[in-house]
Chains A and B, each alone.
Chain A
Amino acid sequence: DAGVTQSPTHLIKTRGQHVTLRCSPISGHKSVSWYQQVLGQGPQFIFQYYEKEERGRGNFPDRFSARQFPNYSSELNVNALLLGDSALYLCASSPISDRSTTNEKLFFGSGTQLSVL
């Protein structure tokens, strides 16, 4: 079975541009989460989506948005890029079976390395 897949693997943008990152979860997983990992730090929660609805949002500005599609894939959009947005963006899926469940492990993709110049 395929794991969590993310595209693109690397991306270079300039300040002020916008970017769209894509994620396909493990087959059968309905929950997708996004994390930002800055070099030397642990991943930081951005969003969780379950059954196409936003379940949670981390402490990120409104420039960050996401959505989940009927096939459970997801996109993360970042507008008006800043130098500080340079990071590894990780997508994770989870086999949680209902909206109230939180106690399931996350399976991570290999991430998109975003560089903002």
Chain B
Amino acid sequence: EDKVVQSPLSLVVHEGDTVTLNCSYEVTNFRSLLWYKQEKKAPTFLFMLTSSGIEKKSGRLSSILDKKELFSILNITATQTGDSAIYLCAVVGFQGAQKLVFGQGTRLTINP
């Protein structure tokens, strides 16, 4: 059964710190790994990674995938209070349906 494990489950840091969120996975016929940010209700898309070793970057956020070791990390530099949210990692395997298997999420709190 496909599985995603995120760590840590909760993280509290001060504004300006750099954080690294971890995501390890087991999936049959890996297709892609996605990161989402969930502030209130609707998860919003951050990154989709399909190739190993290629960093995706958007402003202060970046992510990289290691398909050999089956994990991904999400980095946030110079954190701001607006970065406070739950960060969700999900994988898609080739199963005939577009089914995302999510991890439990990391609750990130940025204190001023």
| A interface residues with partner B (beta carbon < 8 Å) | 3-4, 31, 33, 35, 40-45, 48, 55-58, 88, 90, 94, 96, 100-111, 113
* A interface: dominant SS: loop
Count of chain B residues with Cβ under 8 Å from any Cβ of A?
Answer: 28
A102 touches B102 (CB 8 A): no
Sample of 18 further A-B pairs with CB below 8 A, known A41-B105, A103-B48, A108-B36: A4-B42, A33-B99, A40-B104, A42-B88, A42-B102, A42-B103, A42-B105, A45-B99, A45-B100, A56-B99, A88-B41, A102-B32, A102-B92, A103-B31, A103-B32, A107-B45, A111-B41, A113-B41
- Contact at B88–A111, with CB atoms within 8 Å? no
Asked if residues B101 and A45 are in contact (CB atoms below 8 Å), the reply is yes
What are 23 residue pairs bridging A and B, where the CB atoms are less than 8 Å apart in the complex? A33-B99, A40-B104, A42-B4, A43-B100, A45-B100, A48-B97, A48-B98, A55-B97, A55-B98, A56-B95, A90-B42, A90-B43, A94-B98, A102-B31, A102-B92, A102-B94, A103-B48, A105-B34, A106-B45, A107-B45, A109-B42, A110-B40, A110-B41
